[in-house]
């Protein structure tokens, strides 16, 4: 087995490196844009061939949801064209692909957790391009596994947990939306799930949903971040989405049903607050 991890310097990529170094020592190569720009079709093909890659885990993505509304071309290149390049390289070499997608492919008008067969209807540029990446991959490399996840955070990179801990230390009060509901998900848990898919004796292609268990609004999430992070001098005011205008529209309800990945690959989906506690403990140990 020779695994290529792309987007390896991102928050998921860095967590996945820890899992693969433990479970597949010496069997993975890690690239980010400086080593392998995924928008360069020929470079991707050459890299996969030259390194005899058997599995590609694509952790790269354009993830700046608001900026994507302006920066449409780059967002498309990274979330669609790069995925197409990976798919073409995989179909030519026979490499298997695990690709990461998002809850933002849904419009958020549901009243129960979305399953993999539910109708998609992205409401942002980011969500639209992520869906286009999914369809390109399925068309060109149908043997791929696509894992949709949501509200990712980790001790690395930019994420809501780190933003809120910073704002909590700088301000007396913050206003946070309480009518967008989802499942905060620790990138370390998703990395463990990807490790299980790679280790599995069966490879079952298709779309899967993976998040931590439980649900929260961004306001609930912030309350837990402050409590576990020991932030006490900043009050959190719950507000409706209309009082926090953003460039991109976000789904109101994007909880994902994770039964399929649990049944197929025997992965665990820890309760979100337990995983948040683990991440905050790691962040504190870095200070």
Ligand X SMILES: Cc1cn([C@H]2C[C@H](O)[C@@H](COP(=O)(O)OP(=O)(O)O[C@H]3O[C@@H](C)C(=O)[C@@H](O)[C@H]3O)O2)c(=O)[nH]c1=O
- Tell me how far, at minimum, the Cβ of 78 lies from ligand NDP, in Å: 4
Residue 226: other Cβ atoms inside 10 A = 20
Starting at the earlier edge strand, list the strands of the sheet with 206-209: 28-31, 3-6, 55-58, 96-102, 145-149, 206-209
Rounded CA gap, 103 and 211, in Å?
10
The item of ligand NDP, ligand X, none sharing an interface with residue 10, based on CB under 5 to 8 Å by kind, is ligand NDP
Nearer to ligand NDP, 67 or 237 (CB): 67
Instruction: Confirm if 257 and 211 have CB atoms less than 8 A apart.
Output: no
Q: Which 8-state DSSP code applies to residue 114?
A: B
Q: Which stretch binds ligand NDP (CB under 6 A): 151-159, 200-208, 232-240, 264-272?
A: 151-159
Rounded CA gap, 146 and 100, in Å?
6
* Selected binder of ligand NDP within 3, 12, 98, 228 (CB under 6 A): 12
* Total binding residues toward ligand NDP, as defined by CB under 6 A: 26
Rounded CA gap, 98 and 28, in Å?
14
> Does 76 participate in catalysis according to the annotation?
no
Rounded CA gap, 40 and 48, in Å?
13
Rounded CA gap, 151 and 149, in Å?
7
* Selected binder of ligand NDP within 27, 110, 157, 215 (CB under 6 A): 157
Close Cβ partners of 253 (under 8 Å, ≥ 6 residues apart): 108, 109, 110, 111, 180, 181, 182
Does 174 interact with ligand X (rule: CB under 6 A)? yes
First to last CA, the chain: 37
- Tell me how far, at minimum, the Cβ of 246 lies from ligand X, in Å: 6
Does 60 interact with ligand X (rule: CB under 6 A)? no
Q: Which of 62, 104, 126, 186 is catalytic?
A: 126
The item of ligand NDP, ligand X, none sharing an interface with residue 9, based on CB under 5 to 8 Å by kind, is ligand NDP
Q: Which residues bind ligand X (CB under 6 A)?
A: 63, 65, 102-104, 150-152, 160, 163, 174-177, 180, 218, 244, 246, 250
Q: Which residues are part of the catalytic machinery?
A: 126
Binding residues for ligand NDP (CB under 6 A): 6-7, 9-13, 32-33, 37-39, 59-61, 63, 78, 82, 100, 102, 130, 149-152, 157
């Amino acid at each position: 087995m020779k695994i290529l991890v792309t987007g390896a310097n991102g928050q998921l990529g860095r967590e996945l490196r820890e899992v693969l170094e433990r479970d597949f020592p010496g069997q993975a190569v890690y690239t980010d844009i400086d080593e392998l720009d995924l928008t360069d079709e020929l470079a991707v093909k050459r890299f996969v061939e030259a390194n005899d890659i058997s599995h590609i885990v694509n952790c790269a993505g354009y993830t700046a949801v608001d900026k994507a509304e302006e920066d449409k071309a780059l967002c498309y290149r990274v979330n669609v064209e790069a995925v197409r390049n990976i798919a073409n390289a995989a179909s030519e070499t026979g490499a298997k692909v695990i690709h990461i997608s998002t809850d933002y492919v849904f419009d958020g008008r549901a009243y129960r957790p979305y399953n993999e067969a539910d109708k998609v209807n992205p409401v942002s540029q980011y969500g639209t391009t992520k869906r286009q990446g999914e369809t390109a991959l399925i068309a060109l490399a149908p043997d791929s596994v696509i894992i949709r996840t949501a509200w990712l955070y980790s001790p690395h990179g930019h994420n809501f947990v780190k933003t809120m801990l910073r704002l909590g230390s700088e301000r007396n009060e913050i206003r946070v939306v309480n009518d967008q509901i989802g499942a905060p998900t620790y990138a370390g848990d998703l990395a463990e799930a990807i490790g299980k898919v790679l280790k599995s004796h069966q490879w079952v292609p298709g779309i899967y949903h993976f998040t931590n268990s439980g649900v929260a609004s961004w306001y609930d999430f912030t309350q837990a971040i402050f409590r576990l992070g020991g932030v006490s001098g900043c009050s959190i005011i719950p507000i409706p989405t209309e009082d926090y205008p953003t460039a991109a529209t976000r789904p109101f309800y994007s909880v994902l049903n994770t039964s399929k990945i649990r049944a197929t690959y025997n992965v665990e989906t820890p309760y979100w607050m337990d995983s948040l506690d683990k991440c905050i403990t790691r962040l504190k140990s870095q200070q």
